Structure 1
């Protein structure tokens, strides 16, 4: 059961990825660090499966604090403990709906492979902020993003927003999270991420379970709680120099295809009449009857002269 709790997780080994010989990819990870997420995304990759099962089965939210019992011991996680444990910023935007529209505008060009803005579409509702109703469907569009931002998109989908389902369908929530990192918008990550944690245990909420590594790290701060045997986090879900290179290799073909299509679009020229004549060979007609289309150019000229004399 515990393995399902980190099926959508993503962990970052910053020491490893920052050694990559890929300036654009390194710059993306440096932006993640500058945003204040290093402590959260890069905490020790250890999980306590038995303790996690207990925690998720017994957790609830009371007065803004997450309560649970693990091995018969009561544990409570407050926003303050959450922020201090991962050294999260406590100042900045608290809601993604507050994300500046000009930052969203800039991010759409920054992450694009061609430099043209990635299309956002949605329905406008007069009672709500139009920005909150925008959505971007990256199914077929995800390969229009530069490689570092395609990986950043996955990190935001799995490790931050913890949404189940396809990661190709990106809501404005995930794009706004990317914007915060790409454009350096200050976020109150402590409040935002703790809000996601609370949604995992609030009634009538479809928020997927996640933060397995982070919750394991928090449980380790309670000396009276017996955590059981520790397990290493799946290597395939840890972003290292090796796994990032594999990600690039897997996604490279699609990126080159889009890049090539964009290049062809720029250098293409209009076809001349001679080109069309060469490209489309004439077919021999087998019909014996003369049709309008089979009249020779000489006959057409004679008809034209008669029309002029009349």
Structure 2
């Protein structure tokens, strides 16, 4: 955990950086020193990793103190201890919103690398090298920001303006509030101040710390490290000025010539599958109906049992009145239409006689043909005129007429 506390931390060796050959960089470090941060940023760089881990794992804030347990003993850190250990000022601006607006307006042009006023929330690359470095020092060692440092926030821009113009800042109030946020559990404040907390723990009474390690030299700003920082930023600027040309050159080198085509490529022919035509013998088998008649028009077929007809015989009437016989037949047909066939059969059998060697006796009485004909006509006209009766009634009337015609035929065929 101790390594994570110093991964972005920076310490400043003011005696070394004030000898930097560039005037703008020296002026920036002098302004930073004059605000009272020399003791805080240039403190002895000694780390006690295990003790730092124990401190942050058990730390909490109570009664204006940061309390924790280190080596089995309670340790408390207060604002007075912070102020006395690092010589921090206790008077001045507490909130950066108190920076005068006219100074903020001037700083937008002074910080700009191009001369055009920058915004208070801008990219770090838009500013001069010394103010880029000032932004990193404040973000990593003062406000302790985690993540990327390419963007300059509005609050940090105000803090840079106050430092540049030499405004008094109440650093003990600002820094101790940041420490309280570090030990507050729900807070998103990143943990830092590793070198400063180790200095305070070392000065605590009756507390023996563990193994000590030196601060990484590359994280301490000196003339050499500042020169390296400026050189890297110049290269970043040059790379951003000509990014397109480099990409085009690399792409041109990697290109390969297309292979020459000596012969034209042959196109694949499409093959279509056609269904074979039906044979003539198959067509000759299919019957063709000429002038087909719709099914609804076809008359219903009445399947009747075929009757066996007797050979024609001579009709010999029995003794009795002809009028009575005809009237009885008509009456029976009218009253019992369902038994017409049986009556007709019985009538034929009763009226036909076999003659073996002798002639039948023929009576002089005959059936009145005019009566039967008139009755037949009356029935036909009745059947034709009554179109609203059901088909069954019409069939019954037709059966009656058929029986009467049969009787008439038998009478006419008799000698």
Please give the TM-score of this superposition, normalised by the length of structure 2: 0.56
Specify whether residues 66 and 81 from structure 1 end up closer, same or farther in structure 2 by C-alpha distance, changes over 3 A only: same
| 1:185 and 2:167 matched | yes
Report the 3-state secondary structure (helix = DSSP H, G, I; strand = E; otherwise coil) of the residue aligned with 2:66.
Answer: strand
Specify whether residues 184 and 256 from structure 1 end up closer, same or farther in structure 2 by C-alpha distance, changes over 3 A only: farther
- Measured against aligned partners, the alpha-carbon deviations of 1:147-202 in whole angstroms (never above 9, x if no partner) come to 11110010011011101111112221211221121111211001001110111012
CA distance in 1, matches of 2:97, 2:58: 32
Which residue does the alignment assign to 2:127? Answer: 145
Greater mean alpha carbon deviation, residues 111-120 or residues 217-226: 111-120
Which residue does the alignment assign to 2:180? Answer: 198
Kept after mapping to 1: 8 A contact 2:69/2:75:
yes
Report the 3-state secondary structure (helix = DSSP H, G, I; strand = E; otherwise coil) of the residue aligned with 1:200.
Answer: helix
| 1:31 and 2:52 matched | no
- Identify unmatched segments of 5+ residues in structure 1: 121-135, 261-310
Correspondence list, 1:256-295, <5 A: none
Which residue does the alignment assign to 2:21? Answer: 21
Specify whether residues 65 and 220 from structure 1 end up closer, same or farther in structure 2 by C-alpha distance, changes over 3 A only: same
- Identify unmatched segments of 5+ residues in structure 2: 243-415
CA distance in 2, matches of 1:258, 1:111: 20
| 1:228 and 2:206 matched | no
* Alignment counterpart, residue 213 of structure 1, candidates 188, 195, 209: 195
CA distance in 2, matches of 1:258, 1:31: 30
Which residue does the alignment assign to 1:99? Answer: 99
CA distance in 2, matches of 1:145, 1:258: 15
TM superposition shift of 1:144: 2.0
* Higher RCO, Cα 8 Å, sep 6+: 1
Which residue does the alignment assign to 1:175? Answer: 157
Correspondence list, 1:4-15, <5 A: 4-15=4-15
| 1:155 and 2:137 matched | yes
CA distance in 1, matches of 2:203, 2:18: 29
Report the 3-state secondary structure (helix = DSSP H, G, I; strand = E; otherwise coil) of the residue aligned with 1:37.
Answer: helix
Kept after mapping to 1: 8 A contact 2:125/2:150:
no
Kept after mapping to 2: 8 A contact 1:113/1:259:
no
Report the 3-state secondary structure (helix = DSSP H, G, I; strand = E; otherwise coil) of the residue aligned with 1:35.
Answer: helix
Specify whether residues 40 and 59 from structure 1 end up closer, same or farther in structure 2 by C-alpha distance, changes over 3 A only: same
Which residue does the alignment assign to 1:164? Answer: 146
CA distance in 2, matches of 1:238, 1:30: 17
**How many residues get paired?**
242
RMSD over aligned Cα, in angstroms? 1.7
CA distance in 2, matches of 1:97, 1:205: 22
Specify whether residues 178 and 259 from structure 1 end up closer, same or farther in structure 2 by C-alpha distance, changes over 3 A only: farther
TM superposition shift of 1:105: 1.6
CA distance in 2, matches of 1:105, 1:83: 32
Please give the TM-score of this superposition, normalised by the length of structure 1: 0.75
